[in-house]
Structure 1
């Protein structure tokens, strides 16, 4: 009789463990779809939030070495972009691209007639949904001196032209 009670107790413990140990379908973590680098860049508006020099020091956004790269950026999925200064005045617009490896970003700034003003290719150092950082070199012949221009997502609405 004692053995039967022990066996029933053991079965009760095993049954409880199986019942409470099973995960429920609604406990599953839903993974976000993997975005390409281009999709990541186009997924949100960006604002320049910081800049760092090649020694890792913060650089004021008003510093002449970085001030030209400060503002709001809107990269659209159709390959066009618009950028504005922090006071919402227009900065530039045109076309953009990021290769599948996500290592560079190219912008082709255009005037209102669609004529190319300049093309700029920068190295991307960080591209996630939470940060977009690219590197600029004041002197392209000296890669030891650079500034990282750091952008974070913003909910700032794109100004009307």
Structure 2
């Protein structure tokens, strides 16, 4: 089901890209021109979706589908703005624009796991965290956290949506 959500997002992106490629101001109608000016569905990957926008934490739900306040201790650590750069680096900030963490990131080829490697200002690794991706589309990024170590029956899904919030200056 998770993979179907990713594939649905990929298909939706392709359906948008193809008609837009046909809307060109260029009077030339060579296939080479339209090929270079459009993004193919093959170019849309889980990593490209994640790095395509800034993300804001906008919600959290528990294993029963019940809303979890973002101030709750099981969610508050994950709240803020996230900027995943195409070069594999990331920066995260609180909702008040205070720096939270930075480092490297990647998404597995199957789109099921996001890995972040948090680093200090000198590049020393502080920790590595793998998160199960529940939803990754152009309109939502949700990953699962487990508040009780070793207990996979209790979880909180952290929901992010795209934002136009400018990345704070370093």
Q: Give the TM-score, by structure 2 length.
A: 0.76
Gaps of 5+ in 1: 1-27
Counterparts of 1:104-143 in structure 2 under 5 Å?
104-143=113-152
* Whole-angstrom distance in 2 between the partners of 1:148 and 1:128: 15
1:80-124 Cα offsets, whole Å, 9 max, x none, are 000000000000000000011000000000000100000000000
* Whole-angstrom distance in 2 between the partners of 1:141 and 1:153: 31
**Alignment match, 1:60:** 69
**Alignment match, 2:40:** 33
Larger-Rg structure: 1
Counterparts of 1:1-161 in structure 2 under 5 Å?
29-30=19-20, 33-34=40-41, 35-161=44-170
Say how many residue pairs are matched: 134
- Runs of 4+ aligned residues of structure 1 deviating over 6 Å after TM superposition are none
Q: Give the TM-score, by structure 1 length.
A: 0.80
* Whole-angstrom distance in 2 between the partners of 1:129 and 1:33: 15
* Whole-angstrom distance in 1 between the partners of 2:73 and 2:145: 13
Gaps of 5+ in 2: 1-17, 22-38
Cα RMSD for the two superposed structures: 1.3
Q: CA shift at 1:138, angstroms? A: 1.2
* Whole-angstrom distance in 2 between the partners of 1:60 and 1:159: 25
* Whole-angstrom distance in 1 between the partners of 2:133 and 2:72: 21
* Whole-angstrom distance in 1 between the partners of 2:161 and 2:114: 16
